[in-house]
């Protein structure tokens, strides 16, 4: 039976505006061996599936420094410290990254982006009836292009690898599971 490991101590290694990296020394309950793990602590996130009345899903295209290429993703981002409800962050992120608001919000659940390394969760929302209300309100580190994709084309884009961001794929899986009931 799998059991929790004993945490023996943590050491902060690096701190950035949106995350911390720490070394966590832990003991295996099976072997008794002490092993250091490197963990990333960050705020919880939101991801949004924004759907327009015309049946289009709004994606954002942006440069990603980790992959060193342009990525097609769903809008989303960090939950700010003052936002107690993840939906508040989802509403804000949709407006900032796409210039849209939604008529209806549905929670699709949440997931653990990478439980091996990260301590946060990602909350997923469906935003229906999305309509444009103005210009994007991008952060200084963003350079976003909004791309409207007919819903019927999304699965093909996933199969072709046009969409390969793991958290976006998890978000789309929750959306499709919700559609199937």
Which of helix, strand or coil describes residue 163?
A: coil
Question: Given this model, what pLDDT does residue 161 score?
Answer: 96
Q: Which residues pair with 36 in a beta bridge?
A: 25
119 to 9, 111, 112, 113, 115: CA distances (angstroms): 16, 11, 8, 8, 7
Q: Which of 60, 66, 171 is nearest to 122 (CA)?
A: 171
Q: Work out the pLDDT band at 177, boundaries 50, 70, 90.
A: very high
Q: Where are the domains of the chain?
A: 6-42, 45-180
Question: Given this model, what pLDDT does residue 140 score?
Answer: 79
- Hey, what are 50's tokens? 């924004």
Q: Average pLDDT of the chain? A: 95
- 45-180 is classed CATH 3.90.79.10: yes
- Hey, what are 176's tokens? 């499709």
Residues 6+ apart with CB under 8 A from 153: none
Q: Considering Cα of 149, then 56, then 63, then 66, what sign does the dihedral take?
A: negative
**pTM over the 0.75 mark:** yes
Q: Which of 177, 106, 5 is nearest to 169 (CA)?
A: 177
Question: Given this model, what pLDDT does residue 113 score?
Answer: 94
What would the pLDDT profile of 55-72 be if each residue is shown by its tens digit?
A: 999 999 999 999 999 999
């Amino acid at each position: 039976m799998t059991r929790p490991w004993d945490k023996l101590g943590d050491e902060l290694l690096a701190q950035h505006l949106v995350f911390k990296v720490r070394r966590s020394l832990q003991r295996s309950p099976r072997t008794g061996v002490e092993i250091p793990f490197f963990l990333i602590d960050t705020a919880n996130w939101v991801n949004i599936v924004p759907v327009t009345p015309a049946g289009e899903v709004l994606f954002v295209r942006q440069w990603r420094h980790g992959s060193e290429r342009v990525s097609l993703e769903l809008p989303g981002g960090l939950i700010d410290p003052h936002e107690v409800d993840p939906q508040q962050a989802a509403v804000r992120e949709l407006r900032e990254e796409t210039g849209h608001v939604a008529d209806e919000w549905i929670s699709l659940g949440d997931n653990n982006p990478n439980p091996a390394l990260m301590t946060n969760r990602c909350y997923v929302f469906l935003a229906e009836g999305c309509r444009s209300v103005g210009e994007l309100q991008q952060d200084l580190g963003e350079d976003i292009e909004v791309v409207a994709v007919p819903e019927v084309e999304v699965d093909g884009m996933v199969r072709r690898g046009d969409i390969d961001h793991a958290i976006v794929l998890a978000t789309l899986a929750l959306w499709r599971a919700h559609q199937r009931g």
